[in-house]
Structure 1
Amino acid sequence: MKNHYWFVFCMLCVVTVAPVGFSDDRPAVSELVKQLESKKTSVRIEALELLKEHKRPETIPAIIARITDHKSSVRLAAVEALSVFEDDQTRQALTRALKDDDDRVRYAAVTGIRPLACQEILSHLIGMLSDKHDEIRMAAVRAIARIKGRDAINALSQATNDDELEIRMAALTSLGGYGSAALPVILPHGKDRHSYIRFTAVHSLREIADESSVPLLCGMIDDDDHSVRVAVVCALGILGGTRADEGLIQALEDRDTVVRMSACRMLGMHACEAALGRLIDMMQSDPEQAVRESAAQAIARIGHEDALPAVTSALHKSYQEDRLFLMNAMMELVEKKAQHHPETKETVSKPITPSPSVNEDEKIARMKKHYQQAAALFKQGQYAEAITEWEKVLTLAPNHAQSKRMIQRAQNKLSQEAGHEQP
């Protein structure tokens, strides 16, 4: 027994040290292949693991021979060793392994076959959708998603009715990559009793961006789950059009802050003049500062000069923390008015603002400058520098909510980057 382990240890040293492709590693590989016939289970497994690391195509037939080994642990090692190759004989061998009695082997086979998924093996993968193990069914869904065509859509449609929510969600997410052909499968799930399924269906409809989904989405504006409503608003924002805008205007009345903010932004993106009156009301009186800001930004993007008096009036009556975004909105509207009326460009004056002191005007200008610099740095991925600029805004206006939120976002980005850098 000791001789077997000593041999495997020596082969490990040789195969690891010898550069792949050099002629002097071939005897070692040849000896590893011979060890696949060893009576010792552990030796066969070790040999397969070393052959997997070496990735020599000429060893494929010997590895394939082990997928019928009487020991399931050896069959598992053989399937895992084959997963590094991408050729027809490997695909055929892994397809046979899908029927193994051991669930670990079946899982390794369906996972390994994923990069090789094609129409020829679709029927075998469909069979895996009935496997008793959730992990295997999930892996089958992910493999099927790599295959295009109507048959794959039908297979994923079967998976959308799985007993496990996560598998249903994975199937619906995958269907989003099939375009309008998958709509008949996805649309009914917008009325599913599970909010996770409705959310995933909306996400896929957003990815497909087919206007025929607008009626369903508009009907989901009053969904019980706020995350679904946010997803619906974003999907309608991507789709656009008169009917979508009607749904977004309806969403302005939502009780959830994020839904109202999202609806404001989407209507601004669409330059929807039909929403202007309601947006002005929200800019002036919504209880949430973030919503008031989103409404003001939307009004500025719409750019209708009739909104200018309302913005000016709001600036007179605004909270201190609202002054910066209202000033920005007012300046955008003034600029757009000048562009629309070039003959009066030189005479266009800024609307009358409250009579703040000189120091107050300077403070607003400095806040705007620091905020814009911070936003530019954030977009460039310079998060630490952006935080410094937003902190300068807070020294001028300690309660400026948007700067506080953006500092938190920048800190989260820095934390994510630090996490990726760890070994």
Structure 2
Amino acid sequence: MRWFLVNILIYPFIIMSLTPADVQPLLISDNLGDRLKGVNLLRQLDPTIAFDLIQPLVTDTNERVRYAAVSQLDPLGKQDPNKALSLLRDRIQNDPETDVKAAAADVIGGLQLTEAYEDLKQLYHQTSDWLLQLSIIATLGELGEPKAIELLEDALKSDNGLVRISAVSALGELGNQEGIKLLLDLVKDEDWQVRYRLVQALGKLGGDQAQEALKILTEDSMEQVAKEAKENLA
């Protein structure tokens, strides 16, 4: 009973129907905790209303609020893709925080806003932050922009192993058969994690060349890679 009463006091909105009037005061509060709570509560409102309310929070003075707001633009941005594109472009170009830029890049992929590809490409080459580069590369497969092959080819040459692994996965998700040419060079890559992701990417892309590469990988020295290759051939 005590637990029940405590939760009624702390989370009153969970046990009653929320309205925009309940949430809006939190969103404009000077208190950081209130604004963060308000952003989270937007999930319980009609998406059209929530999208209108969340837009000012995308440029909030606090980076945690901006991050939370930007992250929620997928799926809220589907209400107005053009407006979402404008908001996200502004964040990847102007936000001072890497985490917010990374979140914006992720949402661009989730919403498949292919118009922002050149923005992502420019940011990838401008930043020296490998975590931001990783976020950009990871989102390209979901983005569905064929021109991303060019940037993924660059990422395969990265000095950072995680960026390379992400590029391999993105090539598989992108589904462009031109990606097979880039992937075939990795059959003997020294990083077994690259080869493991390679097997998965080739399995998704399919085709005769992919099948031949998978046959070679069934003999890989790393058991996990060989097993995955056999399963993809089957």
Name the TM tier (shorter chain).
0.7 to 0.9
**1:157 and 1:264, CA in 2 relative to 1: closer, same or farther beyond 3 A?**
same
Question: Is this contact kept in 1: 2:105–2:120, CA < 8 A?
Answer: yes
**Could you list the runs of 5+ residues in structure 1 that have no partner in the other structure?**
1-15, 17-48, 54-76, 84-107, 336-423
**Number of the residue aligned with 1:275:** 179
**Number of the residue aligned with 1:186:** 88
Report the secondary structure of 2:133's partner residue.
helix
Q: TM-score scaled by structure 1?
A: 0.45
**Number of the residue aligned with 1:380:** none
Distance in 2 of aligned mates of 1:206 and 1:260? 18
**Number of the residue aligned with 1:218:** 121
Question: Is this contact kept in 1: 2:60–2:66, CA < 8 A?
Answer: yes
**Number of the residue aligned with 1:264:** 168
Question: Is this contact kept in 2: 1:186–1:201, CA < 8 A?
Answer: yes
Question: Is this contact kept in 2: 1:198–1:228, CA < 8 A?
Answer: yes
Deviations along 1:136-190, one digit per CA (max 9) or x if unpaired, are 1211222344334666434322222222211111111222221332332222112
**Number of the residue aligned with 2:17:** 116
Question: Is this contact kept in 2: 1:148–1:178, CA < 8 A?
Answer: no
Aligned-residue offset at 1:253: 1.8
Deviations along 1:179-235, one digit per CA (max 9) or x if unpaired, are 332332222112222111111212322332333333333333334332322222232
Report the secondary structure of 2:181's partner residue.
helix
Question: Is this contact kept in 1: 2:172–2:201, CA < 8 A?
Answer: yes
**1:172 and 1:288, CA in 2 relative to 1: closer, same or farther beyond 3 A?**
same
Question: Is this contact kept in 2: 1:279–1:295, CA < 8 A?
Answer: yes
Matched, 1:200 2:103: yes
Q: Where does 1:40-55 land on structure 2 (aligned, <5 Å)?
A: 53=5
Q: Given residue 198 of structure 1, which amino acid in structure 2 is its aligned partner? A: K
Question: Is this contact kept in 1: 2:50–2:76, CA < 8 A?
Answer: no
Q: Given residue 325 of structure 1, which amino acid in structure 2 is its aligned partner? A: V
Q: Given residue 99 of structure 2, which amino acid in structure 1 is its aligned partner? A: Y
From 188, 191, 204, give the equivalent of 1:288: 191
**Number of the residue aligned with 1:305:** 208
**Number of the residue aligned with 1:171:** 69
Q: RCO higher in 1 or 2 (8 Å CA, sep ≥ 6)? A: 2
Matched, 1:321 2:217: no
What is the count of residue pairs matched by the alignment?
Answer: 227
Q: Given residue 86 of structure 2, which amino acid in structure 1 is its aligned partner? A: P
Matched, 1:160 2:51: no
**Could you list the runs of 5+ residues in structure 2 that have no partner in the other structure?**
none
Bigger Cα Rg: 1
